Amino acid sequence: MSYKLLMRKTGWFLFVSMFAGFTAAQLNETTTTSGQTAVKTSNEFNPTDKQNPYQPEYAPDADCNTWVGSPSLLWTNAANWSKGTVPTSSDCVVIPAATYGPRVGNYTTAYAKELTVENGGRLQIYANATLTVTDQIINNGDPIDILVKNGGSLIQTNPNALNSGQILVHKVFTLSNLRKQYNFIISPVIGQPIQTILDGDPRVLYHSEEMNYFYDAGVGPYVAGKGYAIKEPSTMAIPGNAPVAEFTGEAFNGNLDYILSYKTTQGEVAHGFNVVGNPYPSNLDIQKLYDYPANKNYIEENFLFWDNRGNDTFVQEGSQYEGNSYAVYNAISKTGSIANTPVGAEIRMPNGIVPVGTAFMIRAKSNADGKPLHFENTFRTGAEGIGFFGKPSDAAEKDSYHLIMTTPDEIQTMTAVVYTDVAVNEYSEEDTDAFGNGLELYTIEDEHQILINGRSEFHPADKVALGMRVWTAGTQIISLYSTEGRFADGQKIYIKDKLLGITHNLTAKPYKFLARKGEINNRFELVYKPSFDVKDISIEGIEIKRQDSMVVINSPESDLSSVMIYDLYGRPIFENSEINSKEIKIPESVLGKQIVIISVINRLGQVAGKKFIINSLG
């Protein structure tokens, strides 16, 4: 094999003559003990790849815009630069050793054509800030001289730009008290093993698509595009709950073809699940990733993000997993839904932007074994993150809304309804299936339980069946979490309770109701025009009657659990969830002169309802 160093306008590149039987693909591929291969594609072999020992020297242009520094520290201060202007995408930028290195501050966007940082330059990119460099990034100092802080983005646009030197990327973890949870993670720099990003040598797992199971990955060797699951370190190794993980290596840049797996040797498991992730030191737009024509041929539309805060299963189970701790983004409906989340915790809903260091699960199609999932620089973004995974600032508006159900044990579960001109009302690929186990709120179409329901353009006469799997009997609360489009502009959303004959305005107020444990598929409907058709529901074992100006509720077979009384518009006017006896008496004077609907549940899970016209306060 022979080497020639050639000079091009964009910098040095290495011309490789093939004499020893090697192919270009063999020189550019990385294989781990887990058998996964990733191929970095470009027009030339990159001399900064780990396989190549040659690191050519670079000399910055004398006409570059050079940092002169001041105590203000801000990149955006023109007085900090030798040309007296803030650098643009046409400027090569040099940052020498300085007492005050530049800061790309929060919510700032900065640019450079080429970037050279000398030893002691101390460039820092802060959260929700973006530095976009057209061509190469050269760090002649230590990795900390180019620091991408948690939430920051370092973007390159030229896929063939040749980088030199290492950078440092920070990612903040939030650890649980028990230290039994896992997080999905990926390295945004070349060569970084996953196990060493945190103290304590935490356990690292890789996912085998063929077995649909997680196995020990050793140190979690670097493979571009490959995601891992990392266990929380012990409290002895890291006493605090918010450690900063450190990734050290050359900034990953350019095109990547990550090889997908779809094996059918194991007939008892679900096929096609691959754990991949954002390979760049910048945020990644997965909507663009999915919309890339070749990728659509090989992957399904759903992106799964592990959120361990509602999880009580402390091993990674693959096909045996029966919980609901994956948040989901549907790239056809362009809508996300949360994992089950404790009340009071931050709502983390994926909306198309994946932060630095974040891995996720996709499902390959049956034709995808050995095929590439393509990444490129045009998918990179500095869009501000919102919540856990983020939302593009220029996201197309839809007519959509999210509902949350809150359980008696204070866990929240979510579903979404989305109206677009690319969907149909029948079950199809713009619908994301519910997980089918555990606590879930979902809509129903063609007997399918749906987490994200993509529907055709909105019509006010539309009706959407709503179902749920209730984990704890008692008072459940359905509320409106978010709205877009016409639903944010005044279109009301009603929930119709066919058991009680109530049509309730969810836009105005959450709906409380009593429910037994189990699956409920025929009781509720979402509508956009109100109707009121109150009827009585009697169940053997529970009696509701009027007696001496009192409403008397009796359950001979079991103690009563909860009682709720509504007005005709579904607004709760009385509630008691701590009865613990077979009978309760409620004075009619408490309820007022009106039509009321009474709903009751006993310890056996039996539910009954009755309409009363109270015309006397006796």
Average pLDDT over residues 485-497: 91
pLDDT-based confidence at residue 549 (cuts at 50, 70, 90): confident
Highest mean pLDDT among 9-13, 181-185, 424-428: 181-185
Question: CA distances (Å), 36 to each of 39, 225, 305, 493, in order?
Answer: 10, 10, 21, 48
Tens-place pLDDT, residues 128-176: 999 999 999 999 999 999 999 999 999 999 999 999 999 999 999 888 8
* pLDDT band (50, 70, 90) for residue 318: low
**CA atoms of 52 and 49, how far apart (whole Å):** 6
Per-residue confidence band for 220, with pLDDT thresholds at 50, 70 and 90: very high
pLDDT band at 519 (very low <50, low <70, confident <90, very high): very high
Confidence of residue 49 (pLDDT cuts 50, 70, 90): very low
Which range among 28-32, 165-169, 202-206, 595-599 shows the weakest confidence by mean pLDDT? 28-32
Strands 65-66 and 37-41: unpaired
Q: Are residues 340 and 458 in the same domain?
A: no
Residue that is last in its domain, among 131, 165, 199: 165
The pLDDT value given to residue 4: 31
pLDDT(93) > 80: yes
pLDDT of the residue at 393: 36
Within-domain flag for 534 = no
Residue 415 lies in a domain: yes
pLDDT greater than 70 at residue 388: no
The pLDDT of 230-258, averaged and rounded, is 93
The verdict on 281 and 365 lying in the same domain is yes
Q: Based on the domain organization, do 297 and 343 belong to the same domain?
A: yes
Range of the domain at 608: 543-614
Q: What is the mean pLDDT of residues 214-243?
A: 93
**Quick one: 351 and 284 in the same domain?**
yes
At 146 the pLDDT is 98
Say what the pLDDT of residue 43 is: 37
Tell me, yes or no, whether 199 and 161 share the same domain: no
Q: 7: pLDDT confidence band, cut at 50, 70 and 90?
A: very low
Mean pLDDT for 214-240 is 94
Is 203 exposed, middle or buried, given 0-12, 13-18 or 19+ CB atoms closer than 10 A? middle
What b/e sequence results for 587-616 when a residue is b if at least 16 CB atoms lie within 10 Å of its CB, and e otherwise? ebeebeeebbbbbbbbebbbbbbbbbebee
pLDDT exceeds 60 at position 373: yes
Rounded-to-5 percentages of helix, strand, coil across the chain: 5, 40, 50
- Give percent of the chain with pLDDT exceeding 70: 83
Q: Let me know whether 475 and 353 are in one domain.
A: no
Does residue 104 lie within any of the structural domains?
yes
Q: Which residues contact 525 (CB under 8 A, 6 or more apart)?
A: 463, 464, 465, 466, 495, 496, 498
Q: Is the dihedral of CA 521, 522, 524, 529 positive or negative?
A: positive
* pTM score of the predicted model: 0.74
Residues 171-199 have a mean pLDDT of 92
Which of residues 202 and 555 earns the better pLDDT score?
Answer: 202
Residue 294 pLDDT > 90: yes
Instruction: Assess whether 301 and 409 both reside in one domain.
Output: no
pLDDT, position 607: 73
Alpha carbon of residue 556 to chain centroid:
48
Instruction: Say which residue, 307 or 320, is predicted with more confidence.
Output: 307
- Name the range with the highest mean pLDDT among 65-79, 207-221, 339-353: 207-221
Q: Tell me whether residue 354 is in a domain.
A: yes
Same domain, 127 and 264: no
* ∠ Cα 519 522 523 (to 5°): 95
Is the pLDDT at 14 greater than 50? The verdict is no
Residue 505 pLDDT level (bands cut at 50, 70, 90): confident
Residue 45: inside a domain:
no
**Cα–Cα distance, 587 to 579 (Å, whole number):** 16
Q: What is the pLDDT of residue 345?
A: 79
Res 484 pLDDT > 60: yes
Q: What is the mean pLDDT of the chain?
A: 83
17 found inside a domain: no
The predicted pLDDT at position 480 comes to 96
User: How confident is the model over 116-141, as pLDDT tens digits?
Assistant: 999 999 999 999 999 999 999 999 99
Q: Where among 527, 553, 576 does a domain terminate?
A: 527
- Asked if residue 321 and residue 198 are part of one domain, the reply reads yes
What pLDDT, on the 0 to 100 scale, is given for residue 546?
82
In this structure, the answer to whether residues 258 and 352 fall within a common structural domain is yes
Per-residue pLDDT band at 384 (split at 50, 70, 90): low
* 79 and 120 belong to one structural domain: yes
Mean pLDDT of all residues in 436-453: 92
- Given the structure tokens 């109707």, which residue do they identify? 531
| Distance of alpha carbon 269 from alpha carbon 285, whole angstroms | 30
* Token duo for residue 129: 């800030």
pLDDT band at 23 (very low <50, low <70, confident <90, very high): very low
Among the candidates 492, 527, 562, a domain finishes at 527
The pLDDT-based confidence of 59 (bands split at 50, 70, 90) is low
pLDDT at 573 over 90: no
Asked if pLDDT for residue 48 goes beyond 50, the answer is no
340 within 8 A of 410, measured Cβ to Cβ: no
Instruction: Kindly indicate the confidence band of residue 478, based on its pLDDT and cuts at 50, 70 and 90.
Output: very high
pLDDT of residue 491: 92
Q: 269-273, 390-394, 607-611: lowest mean pLDDT where?
A: 390-394
Residue 512 has pLDDT above 70, yes or no: yes
Do 480 and 559 reside in the same domain of the chain? no
27, part of any domain: no
Q: Report whether pLDDT(2) > 50.
A: no
Tally of domains in the chain: 4
CA distance 284 to 300: 18
**pLDDT at residue number 420:** 86
Q: State residue 617's pLDDT score.
A: 58
Within a domain: residue 6?
no
The 10 Å Cβ neighbour count of residue 4 is 9
Which residue, 340, 207, 182, is CA-closest to 270?
207
For position 582, which CATH number holds? 2.60.40.3080
Q: Which residue has the tokens 């929060």?
A: 106
